[in-house]
A and B are shown apart, each in its own frame.
Chain A
Amino acid sequence: MIKVNSGLIDKIKISEDFNASACFNCGTCSALCPVGFDILPRKLFRYVLLGEEEKILESTDQIFSCLLCRMCEEQCPHDVNITENIRLIRNYLAKSKLGV
């Protein structure tokens, strides 16, 4: 069973730049990603929007292996702030889960 944390999005969305909900799941972003990100930005954003905290925690290594290189953003047709969204998810993980 998926455990959902409905308050998660509010904890992550500490800045107006967080716009994961603008993502419409087309997958264009992953075409040229140099890391070959397994959970792809779009899947990660769904986890956040749905409050699936455990899935996010399981993906810590992948979330921190993104290069923030913006290749994905260059391709995204919906102007999703992919790298800033990922950075803010990192901020949440670092503060709330990793004891930094």
Chain B
Amino acid sequence: MSKVGAVLGILNDNFEKRKTVFSVPEKSLVSWAKDLNIKKGTETIIYTGHMYQLMPITKSATNLYENLEESTLMKLAPVGRIVNKFIDLSSMSKFAAKPDKSEEERSNRCLQNIYKLLKYAGVEAGYLYEDELYVGTLLYDNGIDEPLINQAKILNKILKENNVKNIITVDPHTTHMLRKVYKKILPEFDYEVKNYIEVLYEKKIKPQNKLDMIVAIHDSCVLARYEEVIEEPRALLKNAGINYVEPELSRKLTHCCGGPIESLFPKKAKEIASKRANDLLTCSNVVTTMCPICLLNLKESTPLKDSFLDLSEILAKAYL
């Protein structure tokens, strides 16, 4: 069995057995919402898709795997798949990457910011808490479609039970999966799905503070090319007095951060990220991303980690 097959096998087995690909304690998935008094369910919900919450784990896992790519552990991946059927490998402390505490706090803050920005825009969004599911991007991208149909059915049922009609997503991959892919694999999956950036833009929110800063924009491939959300983040930044600059490859021609192949080919992913990070840093020493995967990959590929900010972090400073 090839390494690719073994790694995909582990992800798939986890998904079928545990409805997710990486094991993250339920508590860390919902802890961002703890003090916000968000209603359960409701017609309009914020849907995190677990992506921000997964990043603190992915960060330490990437560092761990990067050195192991050519090593014995990866050669043992096929065995890992068999073991994984019985024991949750990703949660075994000996092998498991420890979530980075400060990254965890940052991810939670991003989600809180997004929720507060929506509230400021007049949108009362509910949340599904523990009932929310990972949407399976990593499997779908690797051509594993079949288990997703079941996941789409389960999610559809949960959404119906909660009387949900509108879904506000926070990351580009979940936006794309729920807006286009789920609809394609399950025609009755019929909800209005928008990314929070689109919602804030439509609501024409007014800034409370004008920020005097120069920010380089990194468009996400999925948001710009798959979902054509390009002008909205720019308008929100400009409206807050921010002077944004664009790298040579931006908008529809944005350059990928390398993140999508991080689980299978971490070294290659880092090379791509580092090239992109350098291009962005030649434009400005502050760079904004709009996807938690882009944020993690770009910042981890350069010593200038603090230069990278999630769009929600900048918008919170200007609008809240």
What is the interface of chain A, defined by CB distance below 8 A to chain B? Answer: 32, 34-35, 60-61, 64-71, 73-74, 87-94, 97-100
Q: With A35-B272, A65-B268, A93-B143 given, is the CB distance from A70 to B226 under 8 Å?
A: yes
Nearest CB of A to B256, in Å:
4
Report Cα–Cα, A99/B9, bound state, in Å: 7
Q: Tell me the smallest distance from the CB of A18 to a CB of chain B, in Å.
A: 12
Give chain B residues whose Cβ lies under 8 Å from the Cβ of A87: 140-141, 143
Q: Other than A69-B225, A87-B140, A97-B5, give 13 A-B pairs with Cβ distance below 8 A.
A: A34-B258, A65-B264, A67-B221, A67-B258, A68-B141, A70-B226, A87-B143, A92-B143, A98-B1, A98-B4, A98-B8, A99-B5, A100-B9
Q: How far is the CA of A32 from the CA of B255 in the complex (A)?
A: 9
Q: Among residues 41 to 69 in chain B, which have CB atoms less than 8 Å away from a CB atom of chain A?
A: none
* Chain A, Cβ-Cβ closest to B252: A74
Q: A35-B268, A67-B272, A98-B4 are in contact. Are A90 and B143 (CB under 8 A)?
A: yes
Give the one of B9, B252, B256 with max A CB within 10 A. Answer: B256
CB distance from A75 to the nearest CB of B (A): 9
Closest residue of chain A to B9 (Cβ to Cβ) is A100
- Given contacts A65-B265, A90-B142, A98-B5, whether A71 and B260 have CB atoms under 8 Å apart is no
Chain A nearest Cβ from B262, distance in angstroms: 10
Q: Which of A71, A73, A97, A100 has the most CB of B within 10 A?
A: A100
List of A residues within 8 angstroms of B261 by Cβ:
35, 64-67
* Those of B250-298 within 8 Å (CB) of chain A: 252-253, 255-256, 258, 260-261, 264-265, 268, 272, 275-276
Q: Is B144 an interface residue (CB 8 A)?
A: yes
Q: From A71, A93, A98, name the one whose CB has the most chain B CB atoms within 10 angstroms.
A: A98
Q: Which of A68, A71, A73, A91 contacts B145 (CB 8 A)?
A: A91
Sorted from nearest, which 4 A-B pairs have the closest CB atoms?
A: A90-B143, A98-B5, A91-B143, A69-B256
Interface check B93, CB cutoff 8 A: no
CA distance A88 to B145 in the complex (A): 10
